Amino acid sequence: MKKYDNLVTNALGRVVPEIINGEKHVPFMGVGKYKPEGRKHAPTIASCADYPADGNKLIGSLKEALVKAGLRDGMTISTHHHFRDGDLIANQIFDIAHELGVKNLRWFPSASFSCHKVLIKYLEDGTIHHIEGSMNGPLGKFCSEGKMAGVGILRSHGGRYQSVQDGEVKIDIAVIAAPTADAFGNANGVQGSAACGSLGFALADSQYAEKVIVVTDNLVPFPCIPWQIHGNFVDYTVLVDKVGLPEKIVSGTTQVTKSPDRLLLADLTAQLCEEAGLIYDGFSYQAGAGGTALSIGIYFSEILKRNNWKARFIRAGSNKYPVAMLEEGLVDYILDGQTFDMEGVRSMRDNPNHVGTSPFTSYNYHGKGNFASMIDVVILGATEVDVNFNANVVTHTDGYLLHGIGGWQNCLFGRTVILPIPLFRDRIPVILDEVTTICGPGELIDVIVTERGIAINPRRTDLIDKLKDSKLPIKSIQELKTEAEAICGKPEKARISDEIVAAIKWVDGTIIDVVRKVY
Amino acid sequence: MMTTTASAGNKGTDVRSDCHIAIELMQGGGRVLNLNSKVERIFGHAIRTQIHAILDFYSVDHAKIDVEDSGALPLVIAARMEAVLRKLMRTDKEYLPEMLSQNREETRRDRHRFSRLYLPGNSPKLMLNAGIHYPDGIILDLEDSVAPDKKYEAAFLVRNALRAVDYYGAERMVRINQVPLGLNDIPFVAAHGVNLILVPKVEHPDQIRQVNEKIEEVRKTAGFSNQIWLMPIIESALGVVNAYAIATAAPNVVAMAIGLEDYTADIGARRTNEAWESFYARTTVVNAARAAGIQPIDSVFSDVGDMEALANNVKASKSLGFDGMGCIHPRQIAVIHEHFAPDQAEIEKAKKIVLAFEEATRKGLGVVSLGTKMIDPPVVKRALKTIQLAVGRGKLDANWMEQAQQQA
């Protein structure tokens, strides 16, 4: 089997395959253009006759559960990243698969972290055929260098839900790590010693996978309340000593920045939002992780306080900062997709206005709307932006795949999308003629805020008009690009071959771009 | 025998925007360039080309060159290369980056000097983005922030940074080393767009004269015409005693600063937040500077985490008569500007006085009065200065007077 085939040019002019790992895919056709026909995927009908009437689905071990679930060559195995870098389960699954001699698995995580780098040995020995999910750090490097047997596929959080719902990815076995569960399989992420927050990423898997295993280290008698995951979807439950390391959810960029340059970006962004009238009584915003985004949240809360306003909701990535705003009465609700610290977990458990969401309610593009498009201000990052405002979030200018998409693509549908990014990192310009990989089309990206100037997408005539008398350093994106090149020099084309190693999906399941092998 | 190996620059996991270059001159075998760069895949070719161009310039045909690059800009690579080669070759040949046109601009003697941001002279990373925080001045420091064995290479970096980094309108200042050692720094900065030289630990007016003599010497050989201002820093008991003589030592002395770390050590006191131990020195420096018609500038505030204490410090400094102070972190700039600038009450009062003055002038009255109070000329002068500051700091519209008159 060829890794990929049928190369075509998509609506953004990128050459992408229609066949990947033997499966058919649709090239990107434009925002909102592709509307699939037919019905959603449905797993096999189950019968209560096949499940214990006393609700006890406990199995002795994860291995036993995987064997009962029929683990065999070529299956699709899904896991989730609500423990972020503290996930303990995914690695165990593939240890078991390796021990059983199972080959060619498709790993379908909602995201991977550096704790998963040990899986490289299973990618090398054929236990895992390829990954469909984010590939960070060492896994990204492995994939970039063309070492994976199959082509990787990266999806946004919403795109992952969409692909499962639409039957594009049929999950054979979903393993859900749950901080608290009952023997029936009801589960939540806010109780128990491993409490980590929302289990929303596992929702699609629970609904659509053929077999669902819930693993917990805190087994409670029925009913486990709240039951974010419903036991009615669950085949087996497993009790282990430790299900995950919740202290590791505070991984990476969840502290407010102390860097003066980033604080300046945050300050400029907040000023722009205020001057453009984007902040008002009842507004909403998306607060990402990352030092700059968190600092912007703090500036927003100051603006709200100064005007005696209140936000209606914050879309988070929650941690102690939005939680403090909720508790100070500066916002009515936190709609939380994933939880970044223990304050976030505590708040979600104790405060009914701190709501755990799933990619279904927030991001799924093949639904009857989702709330991402109702968010007033969305703050996102990017590794590169081109002069047409197209942005990259997965690869670096040197060609290496190093980040996942997360909810980034989904949030582009917010009313005003702002990317506060430095004009250059070390010597590497961030604004270029062409990005290495297009993850988001420029038509959805409204403002680029850099420390040396702010570029507003010409499509946003309303913003340009509102800011025409502003003292903010507003420039064209071409001017910013020229300025970056004057400082850094014009970057050379990185050595990237034609060989495709990963595909980037758009929110509707079409292929927006590919990642090619570096050499 | 001459040394055949030398190095310059910084390397290590924490180093960014810098490079470390080691060169061994050889008798034969051509050039062997080992480049290990973080940006190899997109700038490897450009870096190699630049290094060979510099070797060509110095006619080095046989050498082993080891470069550890952490994303250095061309002006940094050039400074590191030149420093190494000049350590090895005893040449005065300068390999100069192109000078940005804005870095030829001169500054006025009475411009605002509320804030001046210290930048360690051997750390390129901090220099590149210094201007985006809009301090009134940036100081490329060759003195205390540079280790003794790094002073030589720092001079090249500072020179290149004066020429090729955009500071977005900040006054370009350099703190040289203490005179007489610091006289050696002057050829590296005088002809390269420096606006103001800070002279540390000045105790006698003669030290200022020596600096000016050196500047004039360089002026003749290098042939440049731009004005260079001086800001002596008083950092000892003797310096305080001689403050007025120092302030009036030369016509290009435009400001005088006080450095409290060294001063308090010199008088055998400990530096406290209340700062009573330096009260005499500070008021003496203010008085001497005012008597000489130049700007008195306060010391830096070293707790970069405590913005409230900084604000209080600035208020105290302003109330003593200082016109500005140093900063060691960009976050301090806004606080310093906010509190040195006139506050709303001061602005309102100044507006009333200036309007009354205008009206009196229009009516040909010799006496300015506000209500029943007569206003003396120095009060008018101070009000005009307050208005000028407020406009300059964006706290008052430049057309405020027309607006006020229209309203009336």
For residue A255, pLDDT over 80 is answered with: no
Q: Is B169 on the interface with A (CB under 8 A)?
A: no
Which residue is listed with tokens 């592709």? A34
pLDDT value, residue A192: 96
**Would you tell me which residues 56-85 of chain A have a C-beta closer than 8 angstroms to some C-beta of chain B?**
none
Judge if A217 and A281 occupy the same domain.
Answer: no
Helix H or strand E segment including B229? strand B229-234
Q: Give how far Cα B135 sits from Cα of A184, A242, B168, B239, B395, Å.
A: 64, 53, 9, 27, 16
**Which residues from chain B sit within 8 angstroms of residue A399, using beta carbons?**
41
Who's near A331: CB < 8 A, 6+ residues apart?
A304, A310, A311, A312, A313, A314, A322, A325
Q: Does A452 touch chain B (CB under 8 A)?
A: yes
Rg, C-alpha atoms of chain B: 25
Q: What is the mean pLDDT of residues A471-492?
A: 95
* Single-letter residue type at B89: M
A301-314 average pLDDT score: 97
B229: β partners: B196
What is the C-alpha separation between A505 and A134, in angstroms, rounded?
11
Q: Say if A40 falls within a structural domain.
A: no
pLDDT computed for residue A252 by the predictor: 55
Across A235-245, average pLDDT:
97
Q: Is the CB of B35 inside 8 Å of chain A's CB atoms? A: no
pLDDT average, residue stretch A209-221: 98
Report the share of chain A in percent with pLDDT over 70.
99
Q: Which two tokens stand for residue B316?
A: 């105290």
Determine phi and psi for B36, rounding to 5 degrees.
Answer: -120, 100
**Helix residue spans in A334-488 (DSSP H):** 342-350, 359-362, 408-411, 461-466, 477-488
What are the beta bridge partners of residue A23?
Answer: A20
pLDDT at B190 over 60: yes
State how far the Cα of A25 lies from the Cα of A168, in Å rounded to an integer: 9
Chain A touched by B98 (CB under 8 Å)? no
Q: In chain B, which among 281-340 make CB contacts under 8 A with chain A?
A: 329-331
CB contact under 8 A, B42 and A492: yes
Q: Is A263 on the interface with B (CB under 8 A)?
A: yes
Specify the higher pLDDT residue, B219 or B405.
Answer: B219
Of residues B70, B73, B166, nearest to A488 (C-beta): B73
Indicate whether A400 belongs to any domain. Answer: yes
DSSP H or E run through B161: helix B151-164
CA angle A483, A486, A490 (to 5 degrees): 110
How far is the C-alpha of A180 from the C-alpha of A87, rounded, in Å? 15
* Residue A277 sits in the same domain as residue A403: yes
> CB contact, 8 Å: A469 with chain B?
no
Q: Quick count: other Cβ atoms within 10 Å of Cβ B282?
A: 23
Task: Please tell me whether residue A350 adopts helix, strand or coil conformation.
Answer: helix
CA distance readout (Å), A33 to A26, A30, A508, B268? 12, 5, 9, 77
Using a CB-CB cut-off of 8 Å, the residues of chain A touching B132 are: 261, 264, 451-452
A223 and A269 fall within a common domain: no
Which domains does chain B carry? 5-89 (3.30.230.10), 108-340 (3.20.20.60), 344-407 (no CATH)
Q: A471 — contact with chain B (CB < 8 Å)?
A: yes
Residues A237 and A307 in one domain: no
Q: Coil, strand, or helix at residue A176? A: strand
Sequence-ordered list of residues with C-beta below 8 angstroms from that of B164, at least 6 positions apart, any chain:
B75, B97, B98, B99, B100, B103
CA distance A68 to A72: 11
**Residue of B101, B129, B331, B337 for testing the chain A interface, max A β-carbons within 10 Å:** B129
Cis amide leading into A226 (omega within 30): yes
- Same-domain pairing of A345 and A493: yes
Grade residue B246 by pLDDT with cuts at 50, 70 and 90: very high
- Interface residue A298 vs chain B (CB under 8 A): no
Which chain A residues touch B307 with a CB distance below 8 Å? Answer: none
Tell whether the model's pLDDT for residue A239 goes beyond 60.
Answer: yes
Percent of chain B with pLDDT over 70: 99
Burial label for B311, CB within 10 Å (0-12, 13-18, 19+), is middle
Find the CB nearest A489 among B40, B43, B329: B43
Write down the pLDDT at residue B391.
87
Write out pLDDT tens, residues A430-468.
999 999 999 999 999 999 999 999 999 999 999 999 999
Is A244 in the same domain as A297? Answer: no
DSSP run (H or E) holding B332:
helix B331-340
Q: Tell me, what's the pLDDT at A253?
A: 59
CA distance A260 to chain B (A): 6
Which of A227, A248, A269 is at the close of a domain? Answer: A248
Tens-place pLDDT, residues A256-295: 677 899 999 999 999 999 999 999 999 999 977 777 888 8
Mean pLDDT (whole number) for B85-109 = 94
pLDDT of residue B408: 66
Q: What is the Cα–Cα distance from A222 to B34, expressed in whole angstroms?
A: 66
Inform me whether the C-beta atom of residue A494 falls under 8 Å from chain B C-beta atoms: yes
Residues 6+ apart with CB under 8 A from A486: none
What's at A33, amino acid-wise?
Answer: K
* Residues A286, A213 share a domain: no
Same domain, yes or no, for A265 and A306? yes
Range of the domain at A78: 47-248
Pairs of residues, one from chain A and one from chain B, whose beta carbons lie less than 8 Å apart: 60
Asked if A518 reaches chain B (Cβ–Cβ under 8 Å), the answer is yes
Are the beta carbons of B17 and A451 separated by less than 8 Å? no
Whether residue A202 lies inside any domain: the answer is: yes
Residue B71 to residue A471, Cβ atoms within 8 A: no
Terminal alpha carbon distance of chain B: 84
pLDDT higher than threshold 80 for residue B299: yes
Q: What type of residue is B302?
A: S
Predicted complex ipTM: 0.88
Task: Give chain B positions within 8 Å (CB) of A471.
Answer: 394
Residue-by-residue DSSP string for B102-158: GGG----TTS--SEEEEEETT-HHHHHTGGGG--SEEEEE-STTS-GGGHHHHHHHH
Q: Do A313 and A375 belong together in one domain?
A: yes
Q: Does B43 contact chain A (CB < 8 Å)?
A: yes
> For B71, which of A427, A452, A492 is closest by C-beta distance?
A427
| Rounded CA separation A407/A155 (Å) | 9
Query: Residue A202 is encoded by which pair of tokens?
Result: 């596992």
In a domain, A16, yes or no: no
- Whole-number pLDDT of residue B152: 96
As a residue count, chain A comes to: 519
Tokens 């045909």 label which residue? B61
Residue A448 DSSP one-character state: E
A123 membership: H or E segment, kind and range: helix A120-124
Instruction: List the one residue out of A425, A397, A408 whose CA is nearest residue A491.
Output: A397
The secondary structure of A264-327, three-state, reads HHHHHHHHHHHHCCCCCCCCEEEECCCHHHHHHHHHHHHHHHHHCCCEEEEEEEECHHHHHHHH
- Among the partner-chain residues A260, A261, A426, the one whose CB lies closest to the CB of B38 is A426
Vertex A209, ends A205 and A214: CA angle to 5°? 65
> Measured between alpha carbons, how far apart are the two ends of chain A, in Å?
24
Cβ atoms within 10 Å, residue B401: 15
A-chain residues near B41 (CB < 8 A): 397-399, 492, 494-495, 518
Indicate the residue of B41, B70, B129 with minimum beta-carbon distance to A398.
B41
Under an 8 A CB cutoff, do A426 and B70 touch?
A: yes
Q: Two tokens at B183?
A: 């006289």
Q: Three-state DSSP class for B194?
A: coil
Enumerate the residues of chain B whose CB falls inside 8 A of the CB of residue A427.
17, 39, 43, 71-73
Reduced 3-state DSSP string for A203-251 = HHHHHHCCEEEEEECCECCCCCCCCCECHHHCCEEEECCCCECHHHHCC
Residue contact B71–A492, C-beta within 8 A: no
Burial of B346 (0-12, 13-18, 19+ CB in 10 A): middle
* Same domain membership, residue A337 and residue A204: no
Q: Do A235 and A270 sit in the same domain of this protein?
A: no
Please state the rounded mean pLDDT for residues A160-169. Answer: 97
pLDDT given at position A251: 56
Q: Does residue A489 belong to the interface with chain B, where contact is any CB pair within 8 Å?
A: yes
Is residue A222 exposed (0-12), middle (13-18) or buried (19+ Cβ within 10 Å)? middle
Determine, yes or no, domain membership for A53.
yes
Residue of A nearest to B129 (CA): A261
Q: Is residue A363 located within the same domain as residue A479?
A: yes
Question: Are A427 and B133 in contact (CB < 8 Å)?
Answer: no
Is A471 in contact with B394 (Cβ distance < 8 A)? yes
Structural domains counted in chain A: 2
Question: Given this model, what pLDDT does residue B402 score?
Answer: 83
Cβ distance of B46 and A492 shorter than 8 Å: yes
pLDDT at res. A309 = 97
CA-based nearest distance A286→chain B, Å: 26
Yes or no, beta carbons of B43 and A492 under 8 Å apart: yes
Q: Look at B42 and A397 and tell me if their CB atoms are within 8 Å.
A: yes
Interface check for B133 against chain A (CB to CB < 8 A): the answer is yes
Contacts of A491 in chain B (CB under 8 A): 42-43
CA angle B50, B53, B56 (to 5 degrees): 155
Q: At what angle do helices B279-292 and B307-320 cross, to 10 degrees?
A: 50
Q: Which of A48-62, A181-195, B255-269, B353-367 has the lowest mean pLDDT?
A: B353-367
Q: What distances in angstroms separate CA B173 from CA A39, A260, A423, B326, B332, one per listed residue?
A: 70, 21, 25, 12, 18
Judging by beta carbons within 10 Å of its beta carbon (0-12, 13-18, 19+), is residue A248 exposed, middle or buried? middle
**Chain A: residue nearest B40 by CA?**
A398
Nearest to A491 among B43, B132, B166 (CB): B43
8 Å CB contact between A475 and A449: no
pLDDT of A53 above 90 = yes
Q: A480 falls in which pLDDT band (50, 70, 90)?
A: very high
In this prediction, residue A254 has a pLDDT band, given cuts at 50, 70 and 90, of low
The CA-based diameter of chain B, rounded to the nearest angstrom, is 91
Q: Confirm or reject contact between B2 and chain A (CB < 8 A).
A: no
* Mutation for testing the A interface, residue in B42, B119, B304, B306 having most A CBs under 10 Å: B42
Measured CA to CA in angstroms, residue B200 lies from A244, B109, B204 at distances of 58, 19, 11
Query: Mutate which of A383, A392, A427, A516 to disrupt the B interface (most B C-beta within 10 Å)?
Result: A427
Give the whole-number percent of chain B exceeding pLDDT 90.
77
The answer to whether residue A21 sits within a structural domain is no
Residues of B in Cβ contact (< 8 Å) with A518: 41
Give the nearest partner residue to B71 out of A260, A428, A452, using CB atoms: A428
CATH number of the domain bearing residue A69: 3.40.1080.10
